[in-house]
Structure 1
Amino acid sequence: MSTTHQPDTSGMTCAGLLIRLLRETYGVDLVFGIPGVHTVELYRGLSGSGIRHVTPRHEQGAGFMADGYARASGKPGVCLIITGPGMTNIATAMGQALADSIPMLVISSVNRRDTLGCGQGRLHELASQQQLMAGVARFSHTLLDAANLPALLARAFAVFQGERPGPVHIEIPIDLFAAPAPAAISVEPARLYPPSPAPEGIALAADWLRQAERPLVLLGGGCIDAQDTARALVERLDAPVVVTINAKGILGRDHPLDLGANAALSAVRRLAAAADVILAVGTELGETDYDVVFDDGFALTGKLIRIDLDAQQLVRNQSLALGLVGDAQQGLAQLLEHFPRPLSKAGAERTARALAELALTDNPDFASFVPLYEVLHDALPDAILVGDSTAPVYAGNHLVSQPAPRRYFNASTGYGTLGYGLPAALGATFARPDLPVVALVGDGGVMFTLSELATAVEEHLPVVILLWHNAGYEEIRRFMDASGVERLGVDILAPDFLAVAQGFGCAAARVGSPADLAQALAGRPLDAPLMIVVDASAWQQSLARQGSISALHRWSGSR
């Protein structure tokens, strides 16, 4: 019988133990952080640890990089952040990760134990940093004794592995970093398995689905590690599938049952309303996935079956008939066992009719972006597309079909922050150096985190930054116009992005047509970033000169 290895940690500090546990117990090999006077002792243990340190230019950028890394890799993104302003800076990124259930470990310093809560005007002092961060984390904890560090990290990774994930915040007082570590600790990680749905509930769900005449399946981001099982099950059920944006690619590219992330469009809404049994797995059924027109029009009238790790989420947003608490992979696999042979429910025919009615590539809101995604597909068919809140992303949410999960994500849903696209794309590039990565950003949103170009150049990351330049906040302009509000604050000054990029040492090009874009992508460097500024006005004029956008529709993946 094997025994647990307990190495000698005598002479090691709390900070040194933290780094050792991250590397040896939890396999962390990359952290994002900006050093500060409060975290110098923490950095002592990083050198030679086997953990790579990346320095963003802002803590919000660090959080977004960790988010993109986690989404692309499936592993938690880890950040090292200073007390006070470092934490308030990263709070927005944690809010985005919390909204989308992204595993992120944020380790910060905090003031000395004997000064906490005293209001003495100490450097970086907050009245309660822990309480502030608890609102954007699954939990926030203040470590007061180095002996409790192993158990605290185990608790954090239990959240990532066994329940609905999200950010976890651990703060360590600056006087504790240099405190002695326990003499001996276990470096073996606990084996933790997520819960499995109740077999009797699975059997009832299978019975309902078997009897259904018009079944429908809704797959969310909680399913992205169950691609093969999810695809096999929906094919056995012969049911149309609506995916969320975070679940794009789960059925592969252009699957005949895939309705895409189009729950807010009328043809899909009618199909959903007519469904007599609906299976929803790993999705919160939230507004920004199912109701992006914000009219509460996504209505389910049939029996709703939900599988989710979060019991409370099962009873939110839609009327529930059967709730199964458990892991998506296990729930899908258990259901699959009840269907050894495919059913016949006219799923492909129902899907095809809805897609034909949608006519996405002819929709005037999307049609201008079809050639953009066509060119991207032709030049970089395996690329991970990471987006900000910008016009090409709003269209791409409906148009893009990807070959696998973790290849398309953005900040236009959930928390909906600006500035996400560029740093998150850098994080994805660290996670998947084997795949090209494209950041889809706008001239307004990119200004929030434009400084991260320096990180991309410094780290030699071959990310493509595709910047849609429409001279301001176009989405808000449209909302103001539709609401009869005079435009104010939306027609903003933009810099010369080519000059800015070149000032950072980043290659850059300006394009105004699909042909220009194809040429720029063909010449992209493989060891450095490239910024491509798309002049939105010139792009539209180029398409108009060609007479018909539909003539450009050669990409079979345009939905």
Structure 2
Amino acid sequence: MTSPPTAAPGTVRLTTAQALVRFLAHQYTERDGRRQRLITACWGIFGHGNVAGLGQALLEAGAQGADAMPYLQGRNEQAMVHAAVGYARQRGRLSTHAVTTSIGPGATNLVTGAALATINRLPVLLLPGDVFATRPADPVLQQLETPWAGDLSVNDTLRPVSRFFDRIWRPEMLVPAALQAMRVLSDPVDTGAVTLALPQDVQAQAHHWPADFFADRTWHIRRPHPDPDELARATDLVRAARRPLLVAGGGVHHSGAEQALRHFADTTAIPVAETQAGKGSLPFDHPAALGGIGHTGTAAANATARRADLVIGVGTRWTDFTTASATLFTDPQVRFVNLNIAAPDAHKLAGHPLVADARTALDQLARALAGHRVPTAHEQQYRRDADQWRRAVDDAYAAPDGAARPTQAQLIGVLDQVLQPRDVLVNAAGSMPGDLHKLWRPRDPQQYHVEYGYSCMGYEIPAALGVRLAAPDREVFALVGDGTYLMLPTELVTAVQENIKIIPVLVQNHGYASIGGLSESVGAERYGTAYRFRAPDGSYTGDPLPVDLAANMRSLGLAVLRADTVDQLREALREARAADRPTAVYAETAPPDPTLPALAAHAWWDVAVAETSNRPAARQAHDRYRDAKQHQRHHL
């Protein structure tokens, strides 16, 4: 029997998987003089496509020493990506996790999580197994056969949702591919999901690697300064405006620009509205804070938006929810200044671009505007609107009868009482993101963690794990509806296994409440949105299903506290917060009060309505839709 070849001088003989794991352990990011690991752990579910490659490599790396790569055991591949994304967002995109899966369904389960990461511009490294590069037997188990493309595999579904994709057909391909992957993960403009597809035989194949491949490597996170001419033009536009408004997006948080924004608002008195991703950019009680903007925004922010003659977008993508499907900014002469590190976003709405890092540019713009302040009449008007809105939120939060079942708004109000400023509230889908965007009162820049770029059901529980791993000193509440819970509860088992203290708050309202309301508004009459038995006419309008989701959570190992009333909810949340292990709170909610102004939609959203129908509800909805469409405009 021959002995393995000896490594050449200056090289290290490892398998491709071992080399990748060692390489990842030595990658760092640095911003503002602070250095941290880029990839701090690897989630994994193993099968024949990765068990002998990355599985063996992670086992060998262990959790100690300079080459350590901690391993985290997941239950669902999509959920593992959500956990990594939650971690990355909490760490300001400076660190993230890797995720490895087998070939086949494990790999394709990554697609939803990858889309979420890329849409929200949050870094995550995906390492799915792939077919045999050497084709010893063809096809292999779980291989997609495509007659016209022999090199196609199911992993190609990850191409459109990845910011960088490569397949490592030979070991030596890993070196340039791995470096490109790190470049994208650490790039503040291009970041998102990065996929390195790893054929299973290549993972296990040994190669002589240059030792320098495993040296510590630091990726500097740049803060581009604005172009002087762009800055001068933006300054002139702000000085000329009589009713300016600033819209803070997720880029404020990604840049760590919250203090710069606060100083800008303090010195100029320009009011600040926030997108879902930008919420918490200002404390809720700041004099210039107007809260959420757009279809799920506050009456104060949207009224100010309709009056605005200049809108300064900071780190926002200007999605349809933010612009109320291009109906919100109604002043005929309204102009836009878009401060964004990504040039495509800076040019949206035919705005004046200010392509730069948010913190850097806000600091420079504040200096350029030294001594400038908005007209007194504008400041007085938006402050009156903000005060009126705060009273509307007080009314929505109020629960006169502590023995009654809480409405969803009252539940949010109780959470507002119980959570401490450094606690984190995680949510993503259903009716709660809209109510939270309107009602939540953030006291810390990282308290509000709502994923609304993809609004992905199932995100909340795994993302809460990632947040808690990133910030073990913060209590993390995952606000979960019954619909989203049933889609992806699996990582509760991981929370129990690892004793990762999260607090799921499961809100039972017996169906898809958000889509039910939308369905009613567009003439679809809540069809197929309730979790109920079929009635004699075949519709889902019978009794509620006898599903006990509290018992389900308990069966997965959680402590579960039931709360039937407002007072019980308050006590249960406090008890869960004080617990030393994962503890859930289960509550059923009462229907919302339709008379409360805080719960109304204060701006439109374009959802196409049937142009013809034999049902009156659809015909009436189309009449309303036709009227609203008349207010849409292209900003030129």
Normalised by the size of structure 1, how large is the TM-score?
0.87
Judged with a 3 Å threshold, the aligned counterparts in structure 2 of structure 1 residues 56 and 284 are, in CA distance, closer, same or farther, namely: same
Judged with a 3 Å threshold, the aligned counterparts in structure 2 of structure 1 residues 284 and 9 are, in CA distance, closer, same or farther, namely: same
> 1:20 corresponds to which letter in structure 2?
R
SS of residue matched to 2:209: coil
Structure 2 matches for 1:20-31, cutoff 5 A? 20-26=22-28, 27=37, 28-31=39-42
Aligned mates of 2:280, 2:156 — CA distance in 1: 38
Match of 1:376 in 2: 415
Task: Please say if 1:215 is aligned against 2:244.
Answer: yes
Judged with a 3 Å threshold, the aligned counterparts in structure 2 of structure 1 residues 193 and 150 are, in CA distance, closer, same or farther, namely: farther
Match of 2:45 in 1: 34
SS of residue matched to 1:279: strand
TM superposition shift of 1:370: 4.4
Judged with a 3 Å threshold, the aligned counterparts in structure 2 of structure 1 residues 378 and 271 are, in CA distance, closer, same or farther, namely: closer
Contact kept? 1:439, 1:464, Cα under 8 Å: yes
Match of 1:555 in 2: none
Contact kept? 2:87, 2:97, Cα under 8 Å: yes
TM superposition shift of 1:194: 4.7
TM superposition shift of 1:366: 11
Task: Please say if 1:144 is aligned against 2:169.
Answer: yes
Aligned mates of 1:228, 1:154 — CA distance in 2: 34
Task: Please say if 1:480 is aligned against 2:519.
Answer: yes
> 2:233 corresponds to which letter in structure 1?
L
SS of residue matched to 2:109: helix
Structure 2 matches for 1:58-207, cutoff 5 A? 58-74=76-92, 75-115=95-135, 120-126=138-144, 127-162=152-187, 163-178=189-204, 179-186=206-213, 187=215, 188-191=217-220, 193-207=222-236
TM superposition shift of 1:486: 4.7
> 1:252 corresponds to which letter in structure 2?
P
Report Cα offsets for 1:301-335 as digits up to 9, x if no partner.
Answer: 4221112222222333x232x11223222222222
Report Cα offsets for 1:406-462 as digits up to 9, x if no partner.
Answer: 321224x22222111111111111111100000011111111111221111111122
Contact kept? 2:171, 2:202, Cα under 8 Å: yes
Judged with a 3 Å threshold, the aligned counterparts in structure 2 of structure 1 residues 276 and 288 are, in CA distance, closer, same or farther, namely: closer
Contact kept? 2:397, 2:414, Cα under 8 Å: no
TM superposition shift of 1:512: 2.0
Judged with a 3 Å threshold, the aligned counterparts in structure 2 of structure 1 residues 192 and 508 are, in CA distance, closer, same or farther, namely: closer
TM superposition shift of 1:103: 1.4
Match of 1:256 in 2: 287
Greater CA deviation, 436-445 or 72-81?
72-81
Aligned mates of 1:462, 1:271 — CA distance in 2: 41
Match of 2:55 in 1: 43
Task: Please say if 1:404 is aligned against 2:444.
Answer: yes
Contact kept? 1:221, 1:246, Cα under 8 Å: yes
Judged with a 3 Å threshold, the aligned counterparts in structure 2 of structure 1 residues 135 and 439 are, in CA distance, closer, same or farther, namely: same
TM superposition shift of 1:235: 2.1
SS of residue matched to 1:467: strand
Match of 2:308 in 1: 275
Aligned mates of 1:67, 1:527 — CA distance in 2: 25
Match of 2:615 in 1: none
Judged with a 3 Å threshold, the aligned counterparts in structure 2 of structure 1 residues 275 and 295 are, in CA distance, closer, same or farther, namely: closer
Aligned mates of 1:466, 1:62 — CA distance in 2: 20
TM superposition shift of 1:344: 4.2
> 2:113 corresponds to which letter in structure 1?
A
Judged with a 3 Å threshold, the aligned counterparts in structure 2 of structure 1 residues 32 and 407 are, in CA distance, closer, same or farther, namely: farther
> 1:534 corresponds to which letter in structure 2?
A
Q: Structure 2 stretches of 5 or more lacking a match?
A: 1-8, 29-36, 145-151, 400-406, 532-544, 598-636
TM superposition shift of 1:349: 2.6
TM superposition shift of 1:522: 2.5
Report Cα offsets for 1:212-271 as digits up to 9, x if no partner.
Answer: 222211111011121111211222221011111111211234211111113335543342
Aligned mates of 2:307, 2:530 — CA distance in 1: 43
> 1:535 corresponds to which letter in structure 2?
E
> 1:228 corresponds to which letter in structure 2?
Q
Contact kept? 2:248, 2:314, Cα under 8 Å: yes
Contact kept? 1:29, 1:50, Cα under 8 Å: no
Match of 2:354 in 1: 324
Report Cα offsets for 1:507-556 as digits up to 9, x if no partner.
Answer: 1122122211121122225332111111113x87xx99xxx999xxxxxx
Match of 1:510 in 2: 562
Aligned mates of 1:195, 1:153 — CA distance in 2: 25
TM superposition shift of 1:363: 7.5
Aligned mates of 2:444, 2:176 — CA distance in 1: 36
Identity of aligned residues (%): 28
1:56 maps to which of 62, 65, 74: 74
Aligned mates of 1:212, 1:487 — CA distance in 2: 45
Report Cα offsets for 1:355-393 as digits up to 9, x if no partner.
Answer: 245454277799944432332233221211001323333
SS of residue matched to 2:480: strand
Aligned mates of 1:414, 1:366 — CA distance in 2: 30
Match of 1:237 in 2: 268
How many pairs are equivalent? 531
TM-align CA RMSD: 2.8
> 1:304 corresponds to which letter in structure 2?
F
Match of 2:318 in 1: 285
Aligned mates of 1:212, 1:43 — CA distance in 2: 60
Aligned mates of 1:207, 1:483 — CA distance in 2: 43
Greater CA deviation, 247-256 or 486-495?
486-495
SS of residue matched to 2:579: coil
SS of residue matched to 1:230: helix
Aligned mates of 2:334, 2:523 — CA distance in 1: 38
> 1:389 corresponds to which letter in structure 2?
A
Aligned mates of 2:469, 2:117 — CA distance in 1: 18
Contact kept? 1:248, 1:261, Cα under 8 Å: yes
Aligned mates of 2:287, 2:190 — CA distance in 1: 30
Aligned mates of 1:340, 1:396 — CA distance in 2: 35
TM superposition shift of 1:9: 4.6
Contact kept? 2:49, 2:101, Cα under 8 Å: no
Report Cα offsets for 1:99-156 as digits up to 9, x if no partner.
Answer: 211111112221122349x9x4322323334532111111211123433434323322
Aligned mates of 1:488, 1:254 — CA distance in 2: 40
Aligned mates of 1:13, 1:443 — CA distance in 2: 45
Aligned mates of 1:9, 1:438 — CA distance in 2: 48
Aligned mates of 1:8, 1:363 — CA distance in 2: 70
TM superposition shift of 1:52: 2.1
Aligned mates of 1:142, 1:196 — CA distance in 2: 36
Aligned mates of 2:411, 2:41 — CA distance in 1: 33
Judged with a 3 Å threshold, the aligned counterparts in structure 2 of structure 1 residues 80 and 350 are, in CA distance, closer, same or farther, namely: farther
TM superposition shift of 1:504: 1.4
> 1:399 corresponds to which letter in structure 2?
L
Report Cα offsets for 1:47-96 as digits up to 9, x if no partner.
Answer: 32432222221111111111111111222332112222122112111112
Task: Please say if 1:387 is aligned against 2:427.
Answer: yes
Contact kept? 1:235, 1:342, Cα under 8 Å: no
Aligned mates of 2:174, 2:365 — CA distance in 1: 40
